[in-house]
A and B are shown apart, each in its own frame.
Chain A
Amino acid sequence: MPSDETAETVLNIFMEIANGAAPPRGLETTADDLAEWTSLFQVMLVHEVESSFGVSLPESLLVTPFRLEELVDAVRQGGGEG
């Protein structure tokens, strides 16, 4: 999957999990930018990305803060990049 499609898919998943809320800073968005990005939200986001791309991401993404771009990079490294 081309890089931009990977990023677009991750952003769409984000908006789905966030009930329609757009990431305010796009791929630069972090938990500090959105009140509803709680630890629970992050877990659901990572799991949904894993399911959507059929990849297994590092467990560290479940517990440590990241920018959305880092999540996209992890997907690419995890085999989601065509």
Chain B
Amino acid sequence: MTSAEGTVQILDEHVSAFAEASGDLNPLHVDPVYARRSPYGRPIVHGALTAIAALAFVPRSVLDRLTRMRLSFPQQAWAGVTYQVSLNTSPGGGLRLDVGHSTAVVVSAHLTTGENGGFLAPVRASGPLESSARKPLVRRLQECVPDEVSEGEYTLPDPDGILALADKFGAGHVPHDLLYLIAWSSTRVGMHTPGREALFSSLSLTLPEVSQDPGNRPGRGTAPDPAEEPERGTVYGTRVRSVRPSTGAVVVDAQLRSPGTAGVDLRMDTFLRERAVAPTRESLGRFLPEGTRLAGAHVLVVGGSRGVGAAITAALATQGATVHAGYVRVDEQITRMREEFGPDLVRPVRFDARDELQVAEVVDRLRGELGGLDGLVLCASPPARNMGLTPEVVGEVREFVDDAVRMVLTPLVYGGPTLGRGWVLLVSTAEMEETESGRWPHYRAAKAAVETLVSDYSVARGVRAMVARPPKMSTDMTSGPLSRLASLPPEQIAASIVRALVEGDWPDSGRRVLGSRECAELWREGMPA
């Protein structure tokens, strides 16, 4: 029985080296600013790199007899985290390689052995990428078409760099061609099909058995037969097998052929995430007719540049309020909202809600210019990634809760006194209505803390407060395979919230809670007379 176990830790430097050597420069791996706006909150390790590192635990005798391998990437892997690796016999036959920790498997592989015919697929080193090749294709799902084909020469920028990385992880014994295939598939998915918004979920590779005549092997007939030009070396052909609009699933078949060898078949299962776009008068108009009920009101929205914050900013603007929309970094959403609604209604204001000095400065300026605020919306929150409660995440949980509390508490205590007869709105989460959490205990802990802070502030200061608990929304932070199905547009939530604000149904003390159902449905009742 073959078995092994150990650990693997991938560092940022390994991720950078892999990106350059493979050409997979997808910003989800290499751009912290881009990754911050994703569901992960920070760059993630290439699944392919984690797999390569884990193959160090598979004996050469197994890899030499590999006829099929299916790699899956069920969860993201993080740089700097030590993962457990185990290799065991699989109940269904073959071997099973797992990489993960107590609450998550980040890579798993099923390896099937037999008498393979070899999979020599020489790769050509293409050299450092030109600047134009360093940016992934940006595609929407409608642009991925079944039967779309492509073909070309099988290259990697720096194959030796891939080997050097493998060697660092003790995977120097892994057949080079296998390492190249894994790296190439990562680049194919992350840079080309589907491209920038891709999530790579699994890679299956099939090698012909030795009994098959390489010249007459039963090809799958699903990808274009690569041109056999011996002087070109190995060539690839890809074909989009299927596209599922409901989830963004895109399956791509690939064949690699090298003269004189039987070649390799690949199947790449991916998902194409949908990027959020800035709310517009039109997108809001589906849920909330424009009006003047809030004309003359000045509202500060903390976290107003994206997600539900942007939608609330826009919804308030459609009712005539002047919205001072807080943002940390300039991005296209805040710029587009200002263009859409005009500087009289949407005024971007740059500050970090965690920074007391910056918050105090903004509040003082607004107080000086306006005399005070009519509303304060608190919807800034740090990116949350799913995690349980284990020793590995203690520091991260503490940091998340601390950031989340600061992003609410700081503007609350500095901005609250300017409100007079105004109101405070806290955007919480429908997770607060659940009795069990699963992988989001840190998120619920933070929301419980800020809900308590706002409620107590409201009672102590006599300030009207509303806590909204919206269900899952389709934003950049939640974008994934199920976001098309299981999420609501943030404009819909914002419309319900603003309707509730305009309605003005405030309790005598404490806060009003707008539950998940109200957040989702209140807009249907139309604006009050």
Interface, chain A (partner B; CB < 8 A) = 15-17, 19-22, 35-36, 38-41, 43-44, 47, 51, 59, 62-63
Contact = CB atoms under 8 A, between A and B. Distances in A.
Contacts of B108: 19, 36
Contacts of B201: 40, 44
B75 interface: yes
8 contacts: A19-B70, A36-B74, A38-B75, A39-B482, A40-B271, A44-B202, A47-B244, A62-B482
Contacts of A63: 482, 485-486
Contacts of A20: 90-94, 96, 110
A59 B485 CA distance: 8
B98 to A, nearest CB: 9
Nearest to A46: B247
B374 interface: no
B261 interface: no
B63 interface: no
Given A22-B91, A36-B108, A59 B70 contact: no
B105 interface: yes
B110 A19 contact: yes
A81 B267 CA distance: 28
Interface footprint category on B: 20 to 34
B209 interface: no
B109 A19 contact: yes
B383 interface: no
Given A15-B92, A19-B109, A22-B91, A44 B482 contact: no
A77 B191 CA distance: 40
A4 B113 CA distance: 29
A63 B103 CA distance: 21
Given A19-B109, A44-B202, 10 more contacts: A19-B70, A19-B108, A20-B92, A20-B110, A43-B481, A44-B201, A47-B247, A51-B242, A62-B246, A63-B486
Contacts of B74: 36, 38, 40-41
B67 interface: no
Interface string B202-246: 100000000000000000000000000000000000000010101
Nearest to A38: B74
A75 to B, nearest CB: 17
Contacts of A17: 72
A4 B302 CA distance: 57
B476 interface: no
Contacts of A41: 74
A40 B199 CA distance: 11
B104 to A, nearest CB: 8
B294 to A, nearest CB: 36
What are the 9 A-B residue pairs with the smallest beta carbon separation, nearest first?
A20-B90, A19-B110, A20-B110, A20-B92, A22-B91, A19-B108, A63-B486, A43-B481, A15-B92
